[in-house]
């Protein structure tokens, strides 16, 4: 085997294919990349962990065909650190010598015949999905699949096609994600579940694929191939029946409320340190008439926190509602939405909460099951948050508390700061002078009943 190529071409091939390899290969041959040079000028690199295989190909100057298996880490570390420029690669007796402008490296390889073969997909059904849509679907779904290998079918994302309709769903038993879209074509009904790890690697490939390309899926009985311009990924399919999830999603909602995504993310980041460690519950009090949501944590040994942001009511029964949610699930749901505004839809406190982007490339939703939380009245001190706006800053109504104790001169300087000097707050809410009126300690004591789908 003998060829010339450039460092950049080889790096791209290796970096993509090595994602097929396990971080802890059980056998040295599975820690290797198979490099194959064909007489037709194709240089192919394959990495596999037996469950998923990634194959990349480039046209290059092949002088003599051949095949070799080389340690993936050593090879990529070496090639990544070569300067850009041309490389001469020559393999004889399983040993590969890479010559570059200032030196050369010799890598001792393994027997390429020990390298596992990639399973064929027999009599496949072919499906074509625009790359960007597939990427968006994985981004919106993958995180809700289970990372617990004992949960079998729940460790994957469930694809379903029928006619022109395509959907992807995932759930770990506590929350679920569902995306759907239309495709060109008219497909006979077909369903299959692809392992999380395979789709994670597919996502990496998709992120480097040309904007307007398509991904061809070849679905067989036990395996699936994803064929992209820059790589082919072959994966086994998960066996078993994916749970019916459509009936879990309510058909109508008493409340549809819009929030600014980044504002809520910042508040969650701020207060979630205070949530008790096990269930990480935050309580959201939706004050629909005041167009405000107040987020709070339960009272724990370390303390607690409360914060507010503006909401826009799209549809509401006009009653305040308090809902307890796992702040980690909520943060993840928001993180996997790309639009600026997010819609929360729900009926009653212990019924599913649906979180969706406003707009976006796909129909997308995350369903989170709330948890029961006691003491959901708004803490007394907070009541002043909205109602005190008419009171002048210097009205000394609380004696020993807050800035009201400041001498007159200080108070004036503080007021000036509020209006002119304070940089804009991260969330579109009331200004500083209002929050000073919150004086009551928060002492809610949530009683948790973890809900499952």
Contact 54, 34 (CB under 8 A): no
What is the rounded CA–CA span in Å between residue 138 and residue 141?
5
Give the binding range for a copy of itself (CB under 8 A) out of 80-88, 123-131, 199-207, 365-373: 80-88
CB of 449: closest distance to a copy of itself in angstroms?
Answer: 26
CB of 261: closest distance to a copy of itself in angstroms?
Answer: 16
Residue from 132, 432, 451, 453 in contact with a copy of itself (CB under 8 A): 432
Query: Binding of a copy of itself at residue 436 (CB under 8 A)?
Result: yes
Query: Binding of a copy of itself at residue 27 (CB under 8 A)?
Result: no
Residue from 160, 197, 218, 438 in contact with a copy of itself (CB under 8 A): 438
Window 349-378: residues binding a copy of itself (CB under 8 A): none
Q: What is the 3-state secondary structure (H, E, C) of 200-225?
A: HHHHHHHCCCCCCCEEEEEECCCEEE
Query: Binding of a copy of itself at residue 106 (CB under 8 A)?
Result: yes
Query: Binding of a copy of itself at residue 61 (CB under 8 A)?
Result: yes
Q: Residue 10, Cα to own-chain centre: how many angstroms?
A: 30
CB of 411: closest distance to a copy of itself in angstroms?
Answer: 11
Number of residues that bind a copy of itself (CB under 8 A): 71
Window 285-304: residues binding a copy of itself (CB under 8 A): 294-295, 301-304
Q: Residue 355, Cα to own-chain centre: how many angstroms?
A: 14
Residue from 27, 41, 249, 269 in contact with a copy of itself (CB under 8 A): 269
CB of 294: closest distance to a copy of itself in angstroms?
Answer: 8
Q: Residue 311, Cα to own-chain centre: how many angstroms?
A: 24
Query: Binding of a copy of itself at residue 82 (CB under 8 A)?
Result: yes
Query: Binding of a copy of itself at residue 5 (CB under 8 A)?
Result: no
CB of 93: closest distance to a copy of itself in angstroms?
Answer: 11
What is the rounded CA–CA span in Å between residue 267 and residue 306?
9
Residue from 41, 51, 86, 240 in contact with a copy of itself (CB under 8 A): 86
Contact 328, 280 (CB under 8 A): yes
Residue from 57, 280, 418, 451 in contact with a copy of itself (CB under 8 A): 418
What is the rounded CA–CA span in Å between residue 452 and residue 297?
21
Our CB check for a copy of itself shows the closer of 364 and 427 to be 427
Query: Binding of a copy of itself at residue 431 (CB under 8 A)?
Result: yes
Query: Binding of a copy of itself at residue 78 (CB under 8 A)?
Result: yes
Residue from 314, 339, 351, 425 in contact with a copy of itself (CB under 8 A): 425
CB of 110: closest distance to a copy of itself in angstroms?
Answer: 11
Q: Residue 199, Cα to own-chain centre: how many angstroms?
A: 12
Window 301-320: residues binding a copy of itself (CB under 8 A): 301-309
Please give the structure tokens belonging to residue 370.
Answer: 């709330």
What is the rounded CA–CA span in Å between residue 319 and residue 317?
6
Strands lying side by side in the sheet with 292-297: 292-297, 281-287, 321-326
Give the binding range for a copy of itself (CB under 8 A) out of 101-109, 213-221, 249-257, 346-354: 101-109
Quick one: which of 160, 35, 152 has its CA closest to 94?
Answer: 35
Residue from 122, 126, 319, 441 in contact with a copy of itself (CB under 8 A): 441
Query: Binding of a copy of itself at residue 95 (CB under 8 A)?
Result: yes
What is the rounded CA–CA span in Å between residue 45 and residue 110?
15
Please give the structure tokens belonging to residue 424.
Answer: 């804009």
What is the rounded CA–CA span in Å between residue 194 and residue 242?
11
Please give the structure tokens belonging to residue 119.
Answer: 């399973």
Instruction: Tell me how many degrees the CA angle 237-238-240 measures, rounded to the nearest 5.
Output: 135
Query: Binding of a copy of itself at residue 11 (CB under 8 A)?
Result: no
Contact 345, 354 (CB under 8 A): yes
CB of 171: closest distance to a copy of itself in angstroms?
Answer: 30
Please give the structure tokens belonging to residue 129.
Answer: 């999905």
CB of 148: closest distance to a copy of itself in angstroms?
Answer: 28
Quick one: which of 33, 121, 122, 116 has its CA closest to 77?
Answer: 33
DSSP tag of 31: G
Our CB check for a copy of itself shows the closer of 77 and 380 to be 77
Residue from 85, 163, 185, 229 in contact with a copy of itself (CB under 8 A): 85
Query: Binding of a copy of itself at residue 99 (CB under 8 A)?
Result: yes
Residue from 246, 416, 417, 450 in contact with a copy of itself (CB under 8 A): 417
Query: How many C-beta atoms surround the C-beta of residue 239 within 10 A?
Result: 9
What is the rounded CA–CA span in Å between residue 340 and residue 391?
34
At 160 the three-state DSSP class reads strand
Give the binding range for a copy of itself (CB under 8 A) out of 112-120, 182-190, 198-206, 416-424: 416-424
Query: Binding of a copy of itself at residue 405 (CB under 8 A)?
Result: yes
């Amino acid at each position: 085997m003998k060829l010339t190529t450039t460092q950049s071409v080889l790096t791209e091939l290796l970096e993509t294919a090595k994602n097929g390899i396990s971080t802890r290969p059980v056998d040295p041959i599975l820690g290797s990349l198979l490099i194959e040079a064909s007489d037709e000028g194709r240089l192919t690199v394959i990495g596999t962990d037996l469950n998923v295989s990634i194959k990349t190909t480039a046209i290059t100057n092949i002088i003599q065909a051949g095949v070799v298996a080389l340690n993936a880490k050593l090879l990529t570390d070496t090639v990544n650190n070569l300067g850009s420029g041309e490389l001469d690669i020559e393999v004889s007796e399983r040993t590969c010598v890479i010559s570059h402008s200032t030196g050369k490296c010799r890598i001792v390889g393994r027997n390429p015949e020990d390298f596992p073969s990639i399973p064929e997909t027999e009599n496949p059904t072919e499906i074509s999905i625009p790359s960007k849509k597939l990427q968006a679907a994985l981004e919106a779904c993958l995180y809700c699949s289970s990372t617990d290998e004992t949960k079998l079918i729940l460790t994957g994302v469930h694809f379903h096609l029928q006619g022109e309709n395509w959907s992807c769903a995932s759930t770990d038993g506590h929350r679920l994600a569902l995306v759907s879209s239309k495709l060109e074509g008219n497909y006979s009904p077909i369903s299959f579940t692809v392992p999380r790890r395979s789709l994670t690697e597919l996502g990496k490939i998709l992120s480097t694929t040309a904007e307007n390309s398509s991904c061809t899926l070849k679905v067989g009985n036990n395996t699936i191939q994803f064929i992209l311009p820059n790589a082919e990924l072959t994966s086994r399919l998960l066996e078993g029946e994916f749970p019916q999830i459509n009936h879990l999603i309510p058909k109508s909602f008493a409340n549809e409320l819009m929030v600014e995504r980044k504002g809520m993310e910042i508040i969650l980041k701020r207060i979630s340190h205070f949530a008790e460690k096990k269930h990480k519950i935050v309580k959201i009090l939706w004050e629909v008439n005041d167009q405000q949501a107040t987020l709070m944590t339960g009272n724990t040994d370390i303390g607690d926190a409360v914060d507010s942001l503006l909401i826009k009511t799209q549809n509401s029964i006009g009653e305040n509602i308090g809902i307890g949610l796992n702040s980690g699930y909520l943060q993840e749901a928001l993180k996997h939405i790309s639009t600026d505004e997010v819609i929360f839809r729900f009926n009653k406190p212990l019924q599913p909460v649906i979180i969706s982007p406003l707009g976006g490339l796909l129909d997308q939703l995350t369903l989170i099951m709330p948890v029961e939380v006691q003491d959901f009245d708004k803490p007394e001190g907070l009541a002043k948050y909205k109602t005190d706006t008419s009171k002048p800053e210097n009205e000394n109504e609380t004696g020993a508390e807050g800035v009201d104790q400041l001498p007159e001169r200080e108070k004036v300087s503080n007021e000036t700061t509020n209006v002119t000097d304070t940089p804009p707050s991260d969330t579109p809410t009331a200004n500083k002078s209002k929050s000073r009126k919150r004086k009551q300690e928060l002492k809610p004591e949530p009683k948790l009943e973890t809900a499952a789908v």
